[in-house]
Amino acid sequence: MRVFKACFTIMRRHAVSFLVYFSIFITLSVVMSSLSVQNYSTDFEAERPGFAVLNRDKDSAYTDGFLQFLSGYGKQTELKDEKKVLQDAVFYHEAEYIVIIPEGFTEQWKDGESPKLETVMVPDSAAGYYLDSLTSQYWNLAHTYHQALPSMGEEELIDAVIGDLDISAEVEKEQFLESQPVPLIFEIYHRMMAYILLILVMLCVSTVFLAFKRPDLQMRDLCSPMRPIQMGGQIALFNAVIAFGSWLLLNVVGLCFYGPQIKAVDSRIIGLFILSGFVFMLVALSISLLASRFVKNENAQNIVSNFISLILCFLGGAFVPLELLGPGLLNVSKFTPTYWYIKALESVSGLTAFDSEALRPVWSNLLILLGFAVAIFCVYLVVNQYKNRSEESFGSIQTEIEA
């Protein structure tokens, strides 16, 4: 197993690089999942988003009631009525929703005219849209009461409006499994793992390839009594060990960080998450082997690993949720292995039973993922064969700056 041991020697020579990649990217995986939770969470009602109300009209029971009502759903931020201040508040997301009550609004509204409240929202903010719908509900209902019961006192009217708007439907969350559902942060950690695993495995595998494909080294190896297939097998084994080690490390880190939160989750579900990651690791290994055949130096190594991992993860739904991608782009996504990995994670987290019927979507997604791994590996074998026989193969790798 001399070649296998030689790979470890190469790894030792690049120990600092490997350490930098592993430590930074693993830390990034934890941070990415922690910070991305809010983008996936739909529980914005509980988040109490920041809002501001600028009253350019006279104070009235209606505007006071509106402020009181909205404060029940969000956190009011006091802002000066200056354009720059408001711009900054929206720019830095201090207030996700700003309502400007124009001068004369209440009188026009009471007279039956249709004045409009001016609103400013942080772009694509679900909380902003939610507060906007609450604003519309309040003023429409207040208008209804005012039209229907004009003799009702303002205070009494506002109390009735707020009393009605406080009514909320009971929601019961049915848990079909005895254990708790998978926490969102754990699921996101495994989504982000797709990017981290791809980039780590590609960088590590291509480093080994770069060393072995140096022209002088390659020529000496071909003169050795060891058959190329034996040598290739040992290099492949080392690459598999590296990929397995990366996957293992990422899972250990995930279990350490999120262990307390997944204690009550069924261990079979956690096992399926880990299995999905393992199958994706095989895909990452295949892609890395194939990509490494086109890498000629360290700059190219970084280009290729960043390029492939970012593209696959954006297209596959690791960063942007799949339900937000259009149908055209989804059709393209289905040709990426990351799409099937994300679908596998979604099907695991949505499990309500462990019978064969319930597990069928999980197995089918994992099988497709495995199919990708096998297909890409076959392409690698063909490309490897062609490249090894090519006349240019000996001159294909540039020597490193330092010996």
Under 8 Å between Cβ of 89 and 114:
no
Instruction: Give which of 73, 112, 269 is closest to 175, Cα–Cα.
Output: 269
Q: Minimal distance in Å, beta carbon 168 to another protein? A: 5
> In terms of CB distance, is 8 or 381 closer to another protein?
8
Q: Minimal distance in Å, beta carbon 159 to another protein? A: 11
> In terms of CB distance, is 143 or 387 closer to another protein?
143
> In terms of CB distance, is 134 or 243 closer to another protein?
134
User: What span, in angstroms and rounded, lies between the C-alpha atoms of 352 and 358?
Assistant: 7
Residue 152 token pair: 């009702």
> In terms of CB distance, is 43 or 111 closer to another protein?
43
Q: Which residue has the tokens 């969000």?
A: 74
Interior CA angle at 199 toward 364 and 385, to 5°? Answer: 75
Q: Minimal distance in Å, beta carbon 347 to another protein? A: 9
> In terms of CB distance, is 150 or 225 closer to another protein?
150
Sign of CA dihedral 7, 13, 14, 18: positive
> In terms of CB distance, is 90 or 235 closer to another protein?
90
Q: Minimal distance in Å, beta carbon 338 to another protein? A: 13
Burial class (CB in 10 A: 0-12, 13-18, 19+), 116: exposed
Q: Minimal distance in Å, beta carbon 400 to another protein? A: 7
Interior CA angle at 6 toward 222 and 224, to 5°? Answer: 20
> In terms of CB distance, is 78 or 323 closer to another protein?
323
Contacts of 343 (CB under 8 A, 6+ apart): 322, 361, 365
Under 8 Å between Cβ of 347 and 366:
no
Q: Minimal distance in Å, beta carbon 378 to another protein? A: 26
Q: Minimal distance in Å, beta carbon 27 to another protein? A: 8
Under 8 Å between Cβ of 351 and 269:
yes
